[in-house]
Amino acid sequence: MTGFPPDFTWGVAASAYQVEGAASEDGRTPSIWDSFAPTADGSTGDVACDHYHRFAEDVALMAELGIDSYRLSVSWSRVVPDASGKPNPAGLDFYDRLLDALADNGISPAVNLFHWDLPQWAQDAGGWQQRDTVARFAEYAEVVVRRLGDRVGTWSTINEMFEHFALGHVTGEHAPGLSLPLDRAAAVAHNLLLASGRAAQVLREHGRLMGITSYAPARPHTDSDADREAAALYDVLQNRLFTDPVLLGRYPAEVEPLVEPFIAEGDLAVINTPPDLWGVNYYSINSVRATGGEVPLEVLAPEGFPRTAFGWAVAPEGLTEVLTTLHERYAEHLPPLVITENGCAYDDTVDAEGRCDDLERVVYLDEHLNAVRAAMNAGVDVRGYYVWSLLDNFEWAEGCTKRFGLVHVDFETQRRTPKTSFGWYRDRIAASR
């Protein structure tokens, strides 16, 4: 017995740039991450996990795991390689083959249109600072759903808008590497939300709509008024900026002055296109310190918690807090929840006997599933859970140095080695049925 209902959805998640490779094959053109890489360790996504060529092997691993669903993203620049908007048949063919392989193994795809890999041609035209990118994204959604819509039951538009907004356009840590003041970055936030709404209107007739947003409880670093104010601002930006407009049809009052110059008549109604499910990505809680600078706050790992190899605090109670807070804050406006990402990075190695004993990950996942169950016991409607991730992959600015997978990947040979956590998750899923 696991405490989860028999119809609970179990899955794993990945994103196109992090696993596919084949960066210049079959008509794909560069994304902003191709331009931003290599990262500090010299890694790029040129090959990554070579999923483009090895997807059959990876789907077989999913089948062995016993999952119900695989959450994947589509590479925009693989499907629409230039500003003409003309579809690339070879790029779409890849997703045809992948979806067919999933169907053959009884695995339902949950397809996300955008996981941070904006085509470089769109960035050259102004990227998310330009409202025209919204229209281009809606056109891309039409291309994808026209070809793949007959095999996809659950659609998402944009993964983790906050991270793409903040890390890509404010701090410059992620592609496209911009460091914009908040009054200019606000255009990015609004255009991401508007693009998501426009695409949602395209997708909603072809399956269930699922939002995907990251959450992290914020704690002031000290008891100072400045740190308390910084933590409150972080809570608005991380936990409400990309949720309130979708579920409530309005921006948080604290950010209205920033976004108001970019809002046109009818925008909020489009953004407020109601989803059928709401995806929660959770990894950790954060400590927030005021900086007094142009970027007014700094996010730190809180003291007193075990840490992953990423330096993130292991705090499963934060997941319960996130779920119950959403339940209380949005009430009847909140659709059923799905944990769309949860996982951890550790320095996993394969020993001489071919084993990868990632016991810390087993403990992490077990504790976080217990945290989900605690929220469900408190009345929160949670319908599924996706581990991030199936494979060790290209971990953005960290390159190939941070391993999140249930399966170890040797990036030199592409050898896949299921870790101890793989068997644990397989058994946990089986026990729930």
Q: Specify the residue for token string 């629409």.
A: 80
Cα pseudo-dihedral 112, 113, 115, 118, rounded to 10: 180
Give the residue numbers of the binding site for substrate: 18, 115, 159, 283, 388, 395-396
Sheet containing 297-300, strands listed edge to edge, beginning at the edge strand earlier in sequence: 218-220, 286-290, 297-300
Q: At what angle do helices 182-203 and 161-169 cross, to 10 degrees?
A: 150
Strands 407-409 and 416-418: antiparallel
Residue type at 17 in one-letter notation: Y
Residue type at 195 in one-letter notation: A
Half-sphere exposure of 364 (CA within 13 A, CB side): 28
Active site residues: 160, 341
Residue type at 95 in one-letter notation: Y
Grouping H, G, I as helix, E, B as strand and the rest as coil, residue 386 is strand
* Residue 118 dihedral angles phi and psi, to the nearest 5°: -60, 135
Q: Residues 6 or more apart from 338 whose CB is under 8 A from it?
A: 9, 210, 277, 278, 279, 280, 382, 383, 384, 385, 386
Sign of the four-CA dihedral 233, 167, 84, 196: negative
Give the residue numbers of the binding site: 18, 115, 159, 283, 388, 395-396
DSSP character at residue 282? E
Q: Residues 6 or more apart from 384 whose CB is under 8 A from it?
A: 8, 9, 10, 11, 68, 69, 338, 339
Q: Residues 6 or more apart from 15 whose CB is under 8 A from it?
A: 72, 73, 112, 115, 116, 117, 159, 393
Cα pseudo-dihedral 180, 183, 189, 194, rounded to 10: -130
Q: What is the secondary structure of 34-70 as a DSSP string?
A: HHH-S-TTS--TTTTT-HHHHHHHHHHHHHHHT-SEE
CA distance 320 to 318: 5
